[in-house]
Amino acid sequence: MKEEIIIAGFGGQGVLSMGKILAYSGVMQGNEVSWMPSYGPEMRGGTANVTVILSDDRISSPVIQEFDTVIILNQQSMDKFENAVKPGGILLYDPNGITHPPKRADIKVHTIAATELAGKLGNAKVFNMIVLGAYLKLKPVVTIENVVKGLKKSLPERAHKLIPANEEAIRVGMESVE
Amino acid sequence: MEDIKLLKGNEVLAIAAIRCGADGYFGYPITPQSEVMETLMDERPWLTTGMVVLQAESETSSINMIYGGAAAGKRVMTSSSSPGLSLMCEGLSYLAGAELPCLVVNVARGGPGLGSIQASQADYFQLVKGGGHGDYKLIVLAPNSVQEMNDFVGLGFDLAFKYRIPAVILTDGIIGQMMEKVTLSPERPRRTEEELAKECGDWATTGRKASRGKANLANSLFLDSVDLEQHNLHLQKKYREIEKNEVLCEQIQVEDAEYIMVAYGTSSRICMKVVEDMRKEGHKVGLIRPITLFPFPTEIIAKAAEHSKVILSVEMSAGQMVEDVRLAVGCACKCRVEHFGRFGGVVHSPAEVYEALKALM
């Protein structure tokens, strides 16, 4: 198994932490992993993205130019990364704020209304976990059990009480992906 | 099961320093390596191992605090990024002149000047060739994974003390900011004063009184030119010994390669993917990865050049290491040497390196 993913959106949407939880989940099931963020001035209110690779074998380059899955959470990222999906790969996006939906016909396009669903759940902070749930429904590269283990490992002890709400959000995401 | 962590390169530098018994860290924040000191401040090693962590008022201060700690035989470390290293170059020359062991980390960013905060490999000349004044060398280690960021802290200290020379970890913003799995080094305690006196007593300023023999002196000033020449000859002899004993290099599918890339650090990871992709298409492509930049794997490259048509040096710079590759290959060899790289903080993609190599076939 080798899965190359980029998650791209606004700074503050939980893009980097979603990638971190995914990477930790991979560690929990014995995968090789790499997590490479965009960093720098663009994080302050601008766009943020993270490349995550999960693999059974040693990962050569953490820097890659095309992806099995591209997860897009704002229009700027759509403009930048629609063409970075490998032919036959997956593009998953939240339609909220997207003015120009993807046009490519050689990839599988899915949507997850994560902004809207997070509002319904009354917890904007679980937005990224809804997206993660949707992704894992499409590409079950890690099990929910390993995601929970990953959450435990990546969150400080005092935040462990939030894990059930995150699990619930992942489940909502899994049920709602289109 | 081993304790496997998922950590950033910068974070693991801090953790490895504590675990390998460092006595002190002196630094000044700069992107993209600020997590080194942040992690040290979080870990609070002064409460556990007794390691000192101090934010100096500038990089110039940090490197001179390193001079003081190293002169006393302590295992001391600093880290910075390119513009900060420029400020430290005077200190590095003094440390090299006075033969003081220490560990300096450069998580490089784009230059020249204040440059950018994105990853770059344009500080090869600065650390491998000089930066400061005088005929000196530093041992330069170039990790290409978070695991090696961990491993090279201990290795750097060991080599620094073995040869009484500053050791440098030359890395960049990608490896500093990226997270990978890492197995931490076993914990080793800080040296006791007795152990320090035993190991470094013949040179370190440990407080021995003149009444108990000749006092040790940390010095790089030799006003008599003949004395300074002798001192330089001694340094050169040491550098030749390091060249003989300490070369580290990884070779990937080089044996039958007709086209060889030479790359270190982040670029070597990118080139590993190019080797995979090219081999799948049946091209005889290999990679030589210098792990030590000084000492440079000159002989390994010279030997590989005998059976290859082209050597492509791939660096995130306008072409610095390529000069050492050319020297290694020599003008008598038929093998062609070329350079490829994006720079100024732009990181070349595997596809760009692939195209650059393909164009030479």
Q: Which helix (H) or strand (E) holds A25?
A: helix A15-28
Q: How far apart are alpha carbons A167 and A149 in whole angstroms?
A: 11
* Count of C-beta atoms within a 10 Å radius of residue B336: 13
Question: Is B173 in the same domain as B277?
Answer: no
Domain-located, residue B255: yes
Is B285 found in the same domain as B152? no
Contacts (Cβ under 8 Å, ≥6 apart) of B130: B136
B222 located within any domain:
no
Is the confidence at residue A153, as pLDDT, over 90? Answer: no
Number of structural domains (chain B) is: 2
A122 — contact with chain B (CB < 8 Å)?
no
Interface probe with B: pick from A17, A39, A67, most Cβ of B within 10 Å? A39
Residue-wise pLDDT tens digits, A103-121: 999 999 999 999 999 999 9
Residue B311 domain-assigned?
A: yes
> Which residue, among B316, B323, B250, B258, has the nearest Cα to B286 in the 3D structure?
B258
- Within-domain flag for B49: yes
Cα–Cα dist B157/B147, whole Å: 16
Residues of A in contact with B4 (CB under 8 A): 27
- Is 70 exceeded by the pLDDT of residue A139? yes
Nearest CA distance, A36 vs chain B (angstrom): 5
> For residue B350, which residues of chain A lie inside 8 Å, CB to CB?
61, 63-65
Indicate if the pLDDT at residue A178 is higher than 90: no
> What average pLDDT does range A20-37 have in this prediction?
95
Residue B299 pLDDT greater than 50, yes or no: yes
Give the whole-angstrom CA distance, residue B180 versus residue B325.
30
B159 lies in the same domain as B260: no
Test B31 with A40 for CB contact under 8 angstroms: yes
Do B170 and B261 lie in a common domain? no
Average confidence score pLDDT of chain A: 93
Are B19 and B167 in the same domain? Answer: yes
Work out the minimum CA distance from A118 to partner chain B, whole angstroms.
28
Residue where one domain finishes, among candidates B125, B159, B183 = B183
CATH code of residue B60: 3.40.50.970
For residue B361, the number of C-alpha atoms closer than 13 Å in the C-beta half-sphere is: 16
Both tokens of residue B152?
A: 């090279």
Establish if B287 belongs to a structural domain: yes
Q: Is the CB of A61 less than 8 angstroms away from the CB of B272?
A: yes
Least confident of A32-46, B163-177, B322-336: A32-46
Q: Which amino acid is residue B239, in one-letter code?
A: Y
Residues B279 and B162 in one domain: no
Does B219 map to a domain? no
| Alpha carbon distances (Å) from B330 to A35, B157, B306, B354 | 40, 33, 11, 25
**Chain B residues close to A36, C-beta within 8 Å:** 174, 177-179
List, in order, residues 6 or more apart from B209 with CB less than 8 Å away.
Answer: B215
Domain that holds residue B30: 4-183
A6 SS3 class: strand
> What does the pLDDT read at residue B1?
44
- Type of residue at A163: I
Q: Which of A27, A41, A63 sits opposite B349 (nearest CB)?
A: A63
Residue A105 is classified by DSSP as S
Does any CB of chain A come closer than 8 Å to the CB of residue B270? yes
Q: What is the largest CA-CA distance in chain B?
A: 73
Residue A36 reports pLDDT greater than 60: yes
Nearest CA to B133 out of B73, B56, B220 is that of B220
The stretch B341-345 carries a mean pLDDT of: 95
Of A23, A64, A66, the CB nearest to B179: A23
Cα→Cα distances A53→A6, A70, A155, B10, B155, Å: 9, 12, 21, 20, 29
Neighboring chain B residues of A33 at a CB cutoff of 8 Å: 6, 179-181
Same domain, B268 and B175: no
Which one of B6, B270, B275 has the shortest CB-CB distance to A63? B270
Contact B12, B33 (CB under 8 A): no
> What's the pLDDT at B137?
98
Please tell me whether residues B269 and B137 are part of one structural domain. Answer: no
Is B351 within the bounds of a domain? yes
- The domains found in chain A, sorted by start residue, are 2-176 (3.40.920.10)
- Stretch 22-61 of chain A: residues touching chain B, C-beta under 8 Å: 23-24, 27, 32-37, 39-41, 59-61
B158 lies in the same domain as B11: yes
- pLDDT digit string (tens) for B188-231? 999 999 999 999 999 999 887 766 777 899 999 999 999 999 99
Which one-letter DSSP state was computed for residue A42? G
* A30 min Cα distance to partner chain B (Å): 10
What is residue A46's predicted lDDT score, i.e. its pLDDT? 77
Share of chain B above pLDDT 70, in %: 99
Of B142, B168, B183, the position where a domain reaches its end is B183
- Of A48, A28, A46, A53, the closest CA to residue A38 belongs to A48
Q: Which of A39, A40, A64 sits opposite B350 (nearest CB)?
A: A64
Share of chain B above pLDDT 90, in %: 94
CA distance A121 to chain B (A): 31
| Residue A52 near residue A1, CB atoms below 8 Å | no
Whether A63 contacts chain B with CB within 8 A:
yes
Written as one string, the DSSP assignment of A122-139 is: T-GGGHHHHHHHHHHHH-
Give the pLDDT score at A38.
Answer: 87
- Residue A154, pLDDT score: 79
Which residue has better confidence, A43 or A48?
A: A48
Report how far Cα A5 is from the mean position of its chain's Cα atoms: 8
Query: In terms of C-beta density within 10 A (0-12 exposed, 13-18 middle, 19 or more buried), how is residue B256 classed?
Result: exposed
Query: Is B181 near chain A, with CB under 8 Å?
Result: yes
Asked if B179 and B254 sit in the same domain, the reply is: no
How far is it, in rounded angstroms, from Cα B158 to Cα B139? Answer: 11
Q: Is residue B350 less than 8 Å (CB to CB) from chain A?
A: yes
Say if the Cβ atoms of B180 and A33 lie within 8 Å. Answer: yes
Distance CA(B181)–CA(B147), nearest Å, equals: 7
Asked if residue A45 has pLDDT above 80, the reply is no
Three-state DSSP string of chain B: CCCEEEEEHHHHHHHHHHHCCCCEEEECCCCCCCHHHHHHHHHCHHHCCCCEEEECCCHHHHHHHHHHHHHCCCCEEEEECHHHHHHHHHHHHHHHHCCCCEEEEEEEECCCCCCCCCECCCCHHHHHHCCCCCCCCCEEECCCCHHHHHHHHHHHHHHHHHHCCEEEEEEEHHHHHCEEEEECCCCCCCCCHHHHHHHHCCCCCCCCCHHHCCCCCCCCCCCCHHHHHHHHHHHHHHHHHHHHHCCCEEEECCCCCCEEEECCHHHHHHHHHHHHHHHHCCCCEEEEEECEEECCCHHHHHHHHCCCCEEEEECCCCCCHHHHHHHHHCCCCCCEEEEECCCCCCCCCHHHHHHHHHCCC
CB pairs under 8 A between A and B: 67
* Cα distances (angstroms) measured from residue B349 to each of A115, B45, B266, B269, B355: 33, 39, 11, 11, 10
Residue B118 has its nearest CB partner, among A23, A33, A40, at A40
* Contact call for B178 and A34, based on CB within 8 A: yes
pLDDT tier, B332 (very low <50, low <70, confident <90, very high otherwise):
confident
Q: Which amino acid is at B340?
A: F
Task: Please check whether residue B163 is in contact with residue B197, taking contact to mean a CB–CB distance below 8 angstroms.
Answer: no
Q: What's the gap in Å between the CA of B283 and the closest CA on chain A? A: 18
Give me the residue from B181, B269, B351 closest to A32, CB to CB.
Answer: B181
Q: Please say which residue of B127, B161, B183 terminates a domain.
A: B183
Rounded Cα gap, residues B226 and B232, in angstroms: 10
d(CA B134, CA A154): 48
Closest Cβ opposite residue A27 in set B174, B178, B181: B181
Q: Is residue B235 part of a domain?
A: no
What does the angle CA B1 – CA B2 – CA B6 come to, to the nearest 5 degrees?
120
Across all residues in chain B, what is the average pLDDT? 96
Domain containing B310 — which CATH number?
A: 3.40.50.920
